Structure 1
Amino acid sequence: MDEPYLIMSEAFKKLIGAGGIKIFCILLILISPGEQSTEMRTLTVNRCILLFLGLIIGIQGMAQLVDPDRKPVYQRVFTETDNFGPSYLESLEAALSAPITDSVRTLILYDLAYYWHSRNLKKALQFSELGISRSIRQKDTVWKAKFQGVMAAVLLRMEALDEAMIILREAAQVLPESEKPFLYTQMGYVYERKGKLDLATDYALKTLELGNQLGDERAMAVAYSDLSNIFWKQQKYEQALRYGLESVSLFESRGLQDLDYDFTLYVVGNSYLALGDREQARNYYEHAIAIGERYGFFNNLSDVYISMVDLYSLSNNYEQAELSGVKALEYANLLDNNFMVMRCYLAIGKMQNLQGKYISAIESLEKCIQVATIDFHDSYYLSHAYEALGRSYAGNHQYQEAYAALEMYDKYKNEVFTAEADNRTSVLQTEYKLAEKESTIQEQQYRLQRQQARQTLIIIVAILLFLFLLLLYKSVKSNSRKNRLLQQQNREKEFLLKEIHHRVKNNLEIISSLLSLQSAKINDPKIAEAMDKSQQRVHSMSLIHQKLYKGKSLSSIEMKEYFENLGEHIVNTHGADGRVRVMCKMEPHELHIDLAIPIGLIVNELLTNSLKYAFPGNRPGIIVISLQQIEGIVYLEISDNGIGKSTHTPNTGTGFGTQLIELLTRQLDGKMRLNQRPGTSFTFEFNPPKAA
Structure 2
Amino acid sequence: MRLSIHILFISLVFSFASAFAQTVSSLEQMRQKLALSKQDTAKAVLLIDLGRYYLNKPGELAKDMDSALLFSRQAKQLSLALDYDAGVGRSILLDGQVYRERGDRDLAWKTNEKALAFLVAHKMPYETGEAYRSAAAFFSVDDDDNLHKKIAYTEKAVALIGQAGNSLELAYTLQDLGDYYQINEEISKSISALEKALEVYKAVGYKQIQGVTNLLGYVYHLNGENMLALKYGLLAVKVAEEVHDDGMQLCTIYHRLAITYYVLKNYQLAFVYYTKAEAIAEKYKDAGAIQEIKFNLALLLKKLDNPKKALAELNGLVKRYPPTKKDQLITTNFLFANIYMDLKQYPRARYYIDSLDRLGKKFPAEVGRNTTLNKAPIRYFFETGQYRKAYKYLRLNDSITVLNHMHNARMENELYWSRTDSALGKYASALAHYKLYKTVSDSNKNEALRKQLNELQLQFDVEHKDQHIAMLTQQSQLQENRIRIESIYRKVFIGGLIILFSFLGLVYNRYLLKTRSNAIMEKKQSKINNQNELLRKLLQEKEWLVKEIHHRVKNNLQIVISLLNTQSAYLENEDALDAIKNSQHRMQTMSLIHQKLYQSENLSTIDMAVYIRELVAYLSDSFSSDKNVVMDLKVSAVKLDVSQAVPLGLILNEAISNSIKYAFKETKMGRIDIFLKPANDGRYLLCVTDNGPGLPEGFDPYNTGSLGMSLMQGLSQQLDGEFLLENKNGLRVCVTFKAIEFDNLENDIS
Q: TM-score range by the shorter chain?
A: 0.3 to 0.5
**1 or 2 for the larger relative contact order (CA 8 Å, sep ≥6)?**
1
| TM-score, length-scaled by structure 2 | 0.39
Q: TM-score, normalised by structure 1?
A: 0.42
**Over alpha carbons, which structure has the higher Rg?**
1
